[in-house]
Structure 1
Amino acid sequence: MKYSDYAQWTNRVTRWIEQHFATLRDKPVRAQTEIGAIAARLPAHPPEQAVDMETIMADFERIVPDGITHWQHPRFFAYFPSNAAPASMIAEQLTNAIASQCMLWQTSPAATEIEQVMIDWLRQAMDLPEGFKGVIQDSASSATLSAILTMRERATGFTGNDKGLSGQGRLRIYCSAQVHSSIDKACWVAGIGQDNLVKIPTNDAFEMDPTALQDAITADRAAGHIPAGLVLCTGGTSIGACDDLPPLIAIAKAEDLYTHLDAAWAGSAMICPEFRDVWRGAEDCDSIVFNPHKWLGANFDCSIQFLKDANIQRRTMGLRPSYLETPQAQEITNFNEWTVPLGRRFRALKLWFLIRAYGLEGLRSRIRNHVAWTKELESKLRARPDFTITTDSRLALFTFQYTPKGGDPNAASAELLQRINDDGRIYLTQTLHQGQYVIRFTAGQFDCTRDDVMTAYDVITELAA
């Protein structure tokens, strides 16, 4: 294929995309396929000679769409959403064509400077104080790893990168059991270790207990360990738990701990002033992560990490060999020095398109609708005697069990969920909460409507019956 053929095939692909979205609501949400079935339809060996685009496109249409779980389906109520608003998709097409490697200012000045402005636009939208800077990471996992590495270096006097952790003492990171597993993995990768991630008990509202946190820190210091950082939670993945931040941050400041707030899902809702109570005190955190690719409409991958003092993370992550220097330049921002990867995509472009194409008020309206429709669905299920709401809605997430009289609610809920997802009209997932198998519901797909959410009620109650 030549560049001169590009327009012909992008036009063809555009027509396919239009038809795909026009018919998406009629397709099963979750892929209705068996393990290995897709691979079995592909040749076992790569082609020695070029294959014409007509054949390639025909094979795509024949194999891929029916083998995809449709994250853009308006009745995708599982996990958390991973959106792709049309304006963001257009920006991604341009990003793919430009194909810049945006590791340094000089390798892509526009990408660096637009990223700086987009970070500040979002800072303003979320009413964080001036002075917060930030960087676009690929995912919250990478932002969290960056924060954990920063905790490690800060606690060791910035000697860990040079000398390693041998003989440094046991570094301790604190969080609750409601945080995402990416915090566990970050402690693995950072060399801190799972045993040094201290899971603090929570209260009846599933908030980290400040007294238990203080007791754990005090005990660790007495044992000769080194408290290094605190990971807080706004909108936990399992049930949407939110820590009460101010008393926890006060302890962290008194104990000189670096604080990281994981608001990967719920952070997007902070563009709505009325929801900001759930992260009251966030402005006092050292690091905050949220994912515009979850609930704000940006294509995956696009994760924002705000930093109160970016220099601490740059000191941890920055590495500038001679071949990455910019000659005859004053000190400039090279975002690769803020992150683990050297290579970086032009992720800021889709934010620029997205925020301008819908405006903050347009984005707020979608989030407000998702929250309101989720509460309405929760109320309808609560009114039925054969269902039990196990955790009340936090923004646009709640959990429930199917509890028919005389049955085992764990088994009944698991069987119902299997029937729902095999049916295909909606897609839900599960979690374990206080030892119970519960079904999660969360709304957030960009084009979801109230009718789509109410369809969930119809499907859930029909298949339960």
Structure 2
Amino acid sequence: MDNKKFRKHAHELVDWMADYFEEVEDYPVKPDVLPGDISAKLPEKAPQKPESFEVQFDDFKNQILPGITHWQSPNFMGYFPANTSYPSVLAEMLTATLGAQCMSWLTSPAATELEEQVMEWLRKAIALPKPFTGVIQGTASTSTLCALLMARERITNFEVNESGFPNDETFTVYCSSETHSSIEKDVKIAGFGRQNLRNIPVDEEYAMNPEALEEAIRNDLENGLQPTAVVATVGTTGSTAMDPVKAIGEICAKYDVFLHVDAAYAGTALLLPEMRWMNEGIEHADSFVFNPHKWMFTNFDCSAFYVQDEALLVRTFEIMPEYLKTPEDEQVKNYRDWGIPLGRRFRALKLWFVMRSYGIEGLQEKIRVHIQFGQQLKEKIETHDHFELLAPVPLNTICFRFHPNYIDDEKKLNELNEQLLHQIQESGKIFLTHTKLDGKYTIRIVLGNTNLEQRHVDAAWKLIKKTASSLIS
């Protein structure tokens, strides 16, 4: 492909992209395919001779698109969103075109300095205290792994990096029973061992119980173990429960335990002054993460990771082979030493575009509307005779179930709600997900898509009620 053809096909793709954004809500959110349907259409071997772009793009539309779940549809209301927006997509196009590898200042000075400034913008926008300094990671899972590795090196005075784990010591990590499953994976990767992860009980609102946390820490100390890190969650994946950061932070300070706060989804709401109660006590945290690629309209991947001790982070990850040394090393930040990968994409560019295109006020307006949608639907479910809430609704994630007043058997209710969710998914009209809270099959609806409007929420609630009624009629 030469530049002339590239220009022609690029214009065609942009036209298709613009059409897609206009038409995405008309697609079935969930594709009507079975496992193996897509791969059955694909050749077993790569082509020996070049194929035209026209053929490739036709195959994309005919073979790939029918198997896509449309996350950017305003009818996608499952999991947490992975939102995008026009400015973010345009920035991604520039990032792909530049193809910069941004591992150090020298490899792209603008990428490093823009990331430094944008992360400072973001810190101020969500009211993190001044000592925090930020870096963009790929995901919250990776950010949390970085935090646990920092905690590991802090408690061992960097001996694990040098010599491995000591044979005569065991290090423990704490999180609630509602914490995201990635914490367990991170604990395994960091070498702590799954059996040394303590799942702390939660209260009636599914938030970590601070008294139970302190008891677990004291028990481990009495048994000669080394409490190393606590992961508190602001907005759990299951129900957006809010762990009490202040109480947990005071316990961590008392026992000198590293505190990481995971606000992967809910952290975007900190743009709103009225929602900053969620982060009360954040000054006790050693690290904090939230994902603009979830609810802040920035393409995946873009995880904002903040630490109070920049030197600890860098010393945990720094490497300095001769081929990476540059004359500017003592004057600049080399972000390759701020996380796990050596290579880094120019992710700051899309965050810069989004923050400038919306402005803080524009971002706040959209987040407020989404929270309003959630609170309005919460009230409708609360007052309906045959539906019930199963968890508090601090933001815009509603956990509920269908509960006809003549059915009390929990097993039957679980089966009924599983059937309800399955029929909703199969309709292709909206996409919801589920969890289990106290053993109850719980349907989750998340109202945070970039282009969500009231009409989409109303249509979703209408479909939920209609489908539920058909199950018992």
The answer to whether the superposition gives a TM-score over 0.5 is yes
Which residue number corresponds to residue 426 of structure 2? Answer: 422
Q: What is the Cα deviation at residue 4 of structure 1?
A: 3.3
SS in structure 1 at match of 2:392: strand
Q: Residue 416 of structure 1 aligns to a residue in which SS?
A: helix
Name the structure 1 match of 2:105.
105
Question: Is 2:465 aligned against 1:461?
Answer: yes
2 CA distance for matches of 1:244 and 1:432? 22
Alignment map for 1:389-428 (pairs within 5 Å):
389-404=389-404, 405-406=406-407, 408-428=412-432
Q: How does 1:110-149 map to 2 (within 5 A)?
A: 110-149=110-149
Aligned counterparts of 1:66 and 1:231: Cα–Cα separation in 2: 40
Give the partner amino acid of 2:273: P
Cα distance change, pair 248–329 in 1 and its aligned pair in 2 (3 A): closer
Distance change >3 Å, CA 330–CA 150, structure 1 → 2: closer
State the distance in 2 between where 1:47 and 1:290 align. Answer: 42
Amino acid at match of 1:77: M
Counterpart in the other structure of 2:174: 174
Residue 154 of structure 2 is matched in structure 1 by: 154
Q: Deviation at 1:329?
A: 4.8
Paired amino acid for 2:395: L
Cα displacement string for residues 349-407 of structure 1 (whole angstroms, at most 9, x for unaligned residues): 00110000111111111111111111111211222211111112120112011112236
Decide whether the 8 Å contact of 1:91 with 1:349 is kept in 2. yes
TM-score norm. by structure 2 comes to 0.96
1:437 aligns with 2:441: yes
Question: Per-residue CA shift, 1:30-56, capped at 9, x if unaligned?
Answer: 122111101111111110110011111
Residue of structure 2 in register with 1:264 after alignment:
264
- Quick one: which of 439, 449, 453 aligns to 2:453? 449
Equivalent residue for 1:300? 300
Which residue type is aligned with residue 222 of structure 1?
Answer: E
- The answer as to whether partners of 1:374 and 1:453 remain within 8 angstroms in 2 is no
* Structure 1 residue 284, shift from structure 2 partner: 2.5
Q: TM-score, normalised by structure 1?
A: 0.98
**Aligned mates of 2:452, 2:346 — CA distance in 1:** 28
Contact 1:136 1:347 in 2 (8 A): yes
CA distance in structure 2 between the partners assigned to 1:191 and 1:431 by the alignment:
29
Distance, in Å, in 2 between the alignment partners of 1:358 and 1:81 is: 18
Tell me the distance in 2 between the aligned counterparts of 1:247 and 1:275: 18
Report the 3-state secondary structure (helix = DSSP H, G, I; strand = E; otherwise coil) of the residue aligned with 1:392.
Answer: coil
The equivalent of 1:353 in structure 2 is: 353
Deviations 1:186-227 (A, max 9, x none): 001001011111111122232222221111111111111111
The Cα RMSD (Å) is 1.1
Matches within 5 A, 1:34-433: 34-327=34-327, 329-404=329-404, 405-406=406-407, 408-433=412-437
Label 1:392 to 1:208 Cα distance change in 2 as closer, same or farther (>3 A).
closer
SS at match of 2:356: helix
Letter in 2 for 1:440: R
Distance 1:302 1:37, change over 3 A: same
Q: Which runs of 5+ in 1 are unaligned?
A: none
SS in 2 for 1:394: coil
The superposition leaves residues 403-433 of structure 1 with CA deviations (integer Å, 9 ceiling, x where unpaired) of 1223621011000000000011111000011
Q: Aligned partners of 2:30, 2:394: CA distance in 1, in Å?
A: 25
Aligned-partner Cα distance in 1 for 2:341–2:416: 45
Count of aligned positions: 465
Letter of the structure 1 residue corresponding to residue 429 of structure 2: R
After alignment, is 78-87 or 309-318 more displaced?
Answer: 309-318
- Alignment check: 8 A CA contact 2:318 2:337 kept: yes
- C-alpha distance in structure 2 between counterparts of 1:309 and 1:50, whole Å: 52
Distance 2:328 2:121 in 1: 30
Cα distance in structure 1, aligned partners of 2:300 and 2:75: 19
Structure 2's unaligned 5+ residue stretches are none
C-alpha distance in 2 between matches for 1:226 and 1:320: 31
User: 1:168–1:144: structure 2 CA closer, same or farther, 3 Å change rule?
Assistant: farther
User: Which deviates more from structure 2 when the two are superposed, residues 207-216 or residues 359-368?
Assistant: 207-216
